[in-house]
Structure 1
Amino acid sequence: MTENPPHRLAARIKDRLAADARTVEFGIDVDIHDDVVVLRGQVATARRRALIEAVAREAASGLRIANDVVVVGLPAQSRYKDGTPW
């Protein structure tokens, strides 16, 4: 594994997700199990899910990523008239 204990690496990835302008995603759980970074939570779009994984990969170089983040979508009231999410 890395030189960092798993809990420190998980905290670093969560900090990176919260600080990165591409994600600024709260509510994403990050755990480390047997050199695998496990991401869990819910997001509104597949693009957001992919960005979360990309940021986690940057922060956890060399480790595998298990992206268990679920895309739940947004209700119709949470979209612009053209259908894109807020």
Structure 2
Amino acid sequence: MAKAKNAVPEGHHTVTPQLTLDNAAQAIDWYKKALGVEEVTRAVGPDGKIMHAEIRLGDSLIMLNDAMGGGKGPRAIGGSP
């Protein structure tokens, strides 16, 4: 019988959160100061918005992006920024 492949990418856990934010750059800066996260990667679009970013907190990755297109940030759904 063939061995099952692991669907979880290396460096990730079974669940990896993806946060859509109104200002991902500001959030990343705050997470760095408040929690000591490490910024792993940041992809910025031509409009200056973050299309994809990853931060590391301990041994976990958290993915972030700015609200754009169909992706709504917290304020658009009645939450806090």
Would you tell me which structure has more helix in proportion to its own residues? 1
TM-score by shorter chain over 0.5:
no
**Bigger CA radius of gyration:** 2
Greater RCO, 1 or 2 (C-alpha within 8 Å, sep 6+): 2
TM-score (norm 2): 0.30
